Amino acid sequence: MKKIGITGQNGFVGRHLYNTLGLSPEEFERISFSRDFFEDETRLDAFVAQCDVIVHLAAMNRHDSEQHIYETNVALAQKLVESLIRTGSKAHVIISSSTQEEKDNLYGRSKREGRKALAAWAQENGGTFTGLIIPNVFGAFGKPFYNSFIATFCHQLTHDEIPTVANDGEVKLIYVQELIDVIITEIRAGESKPEYGIEPTAIRKVSEVLALLNEYKRRYFDNGEIPVIHDTFGHNLFNTFRSYIDHKDYFPVKFTQHTDPRGAFVEVIRLGIGGQCSFSTTVPGITRGNHFHTRKIERFAVIKGKALIQLRKIDSDEVLDFYLDGTEPAYVDMPIWYTHNIKNIGDEELYTIFWINEPFDPADADTYFLEV
C-alpha cells in the first residue's frame, strides 16, 4: 500500500484526487495535509516523512498582484524541497505545473521554477520526480472566477447572470477526472518524468463552450430535459454544469400533470440521450440507494406514495432532504460525487421511476456504496 500526501488537498484538483484515491483503500493510504503545514517546519516534516508519494498541488492562481503569485508559488515549492532534504525523503514527488510555463508571465515562471527546483532535489538526492505540465482543467466544484472560465460561466448561468466572452481564443482543455487518472497512473508507475506534457483531451473556442452551456441551461436548467450529448467532452461539461446548481433551491422539480376523466398523464423525462429506465416499488420504512456515482446522470421520479430523498456530497456533512409526494409527482436528479438514497416515509407502497444515462455494467458499475 502506498502512502499518498497531497499539498493543496482541499483545492479543486486536490479534492478530486483525494476522493478518488479513497475509492481504492486497499491500494492507497491518504496522509492528511493542511495548508498551514507550510508555516510550521515540524508539522511539514512529519507529513513529508510519512509519504511514499507527494503530489504537490498547492499554488496560487489568482491575485491582484502577479508578483505576489510568483513569490508565493516559488516559496511553496522551496519549502517542500527543504523539508524533503531535512527528512532525507526518497518519496516520489509529483508536481502540477501548467502550459502557462510557455508564456512570459509571472504565474508561468513561478510554475516552471517550482518544477525545476523539485527536479533538482530529485537529481541531487536520489528521489523520483514527475513534473506534469497540464492544460486548462475544468470539472465539477471548481471555484468560479478563479479555477477556469468554465467554472465562471457555469456559476453565472445557474445564478441569473449573463456570461460574456472577453477573448474568444482556442483553449486546450482536460477534464479534472481525466487528469486524476493520469496522476494515479504516474503514482502506480513510480518513474521519473521531469517534464511530462499532458495532452489536452479537447480543444474548443471559448464561444463554443459557452454555446453548449447556454444549451444546457435552456434545455436542462430551465426545462428539465437531458440534452443531446455528442461526445465525452459534452458529457463531462454537462456534469460540470450540473454541479453549479443550488440543489437546495432547485429540487424537487414538480412534473406537469395532464388530467382528464380517465386519470392523469405525466411526462417523466425528455431525452437527447439514451440510457436505462427502471421502475420500483418500495414498502413503507425501507430505504434504497446509499451510493454515489462519479460520472453517471440519474433521475429519481416519485409517482405514487411519499418519499424522502437525501443527498450528501461525500466530503461534506451537510445532508439535503427532499420530500416528494405522488399526489404532486416530482423528480430529483443525482449530482456526481453525492451519495444518495430514497426512503418510503408513507403508509402505502412507494412507486418510483429511475432513469440513468447508461445501462448497468457490473464490470464498470461506477457505483460506490456510502451511507448518506
Q: Determine contact, residues 5/19, Cβ cutoff 8 Å.
A: no
pLDDT for 169 equals 93
Q: Say if 146 falls within a structural domain.
A: no
pLDDT for 350 equals 95
pLDDT for 211 equals 98
Full domain range(s) for residue 114 = 2-138+171-203
- On whether both 256 and 186 belong to a single domain, the answer is no
- On whether both 275 and 358 belong to a single domain, the answer is yes
Q: Say if 331 falls within a structural domain.
A: yes
- On whether both 127 and 252 belong to a single domain, the answer is no
3-state SS class at 28: strand
| Crossing angle (nearest 10°) for helices 41-50 and 66-87 | 60
pLDDT for 115 equals 92
Integer Cα distance of 200 and 171 in angstroms: 9
- On whether both 128 and 70 belong to a single domain, the answer is yes
Which one, of 257, 328, 321, lies nearest residue 287 by Cα? 321
CATH code, 323: 2.60.120.10
Integer Cα distance of 305 and 284 in angstroms: 9
Phi-psi category of residue 290: left, alpha or beta, with phi > 0 → left and psi -120 to 50 → alpha: left
CATH code, 72: 3.40.50.720
What is the mean pLDDT for each group of 10 consecutive residues in the chain (372 residues)? 96 97 97 96 97 94 81 94 96 91 81 92 93 96 94 98 94 98 97 94 98 97 94 97 97 90 86 90 95 97 97 97 96 98 96 93 95 98
- On whether both 183 and 311 belong to a single domain, the answer is no
The Cβ of residue 68 has, within 10 Å, a number of other Cβ atoms equal to: 12
Integer Cα distance of 272 and 212 in angstroms: 14
pLDDT for 90 equals 93
- On whether both 187 and 258 belong to a single domain, the answer is no
- On whether both 8 and 70 belong to a single domain, the answer is yes
Q: Say if 345 falls within a structural domain.
A: yes
**Identity at 96, one-letter amino acid code:** S
Residues 6+ apart with CB under 8 A from 363: none
- On whether both 62 and 195 belong to a single domain, the answer is yes
Integer Cα distance of 221 and 213 in angstroms: 10
- On whether both 178 and 267 belong to a single domain, the answer is no
Q: Say if 158 falls within a structural domain.
A: no
pLDDT for 258 equals 86
Q: How far, CA to CA in Å, does 96 sit from each of 8, 51, 107, 118? A: 11, 17, 13, 11
Q: Say if 164 falls within a structural domain.
A: no
- On whether both 299 and 196 belong to a single domain, the answer is no
- On whether both 352 and 270 belong to a single domain, the answer is yes
- On whether both 252 and 196 belong to a single domain, the answer is no
Integer Cα distance of 251 and 254 in angstroms: 8
What are 35-76's pLDDT values in tens digits? 999 999 999 999 999 999 999 999 877 777 889 888 999 999
| Crossing angle (nearest 10°) for helices 232-242 and 149-157 | 60
Number of folded domains that form the chain: 2
Q: Say if 314 falls within a structural domain.
A: yes
* Burial category of 339 from C-beta neighbours within 10 Å (exposed 0-12, middle 13-18, buried 19 and up): buried
User: What global pTM score does this model have?
Assistant: 0.93
Q: Say if 241 falls within a structural domain.
A: no
**H/E segment holding residue 346:** none
**Which cell numbers hold the place of 5?**
500526501
Q: Say if 8 falls within a structural domain.
A: yes
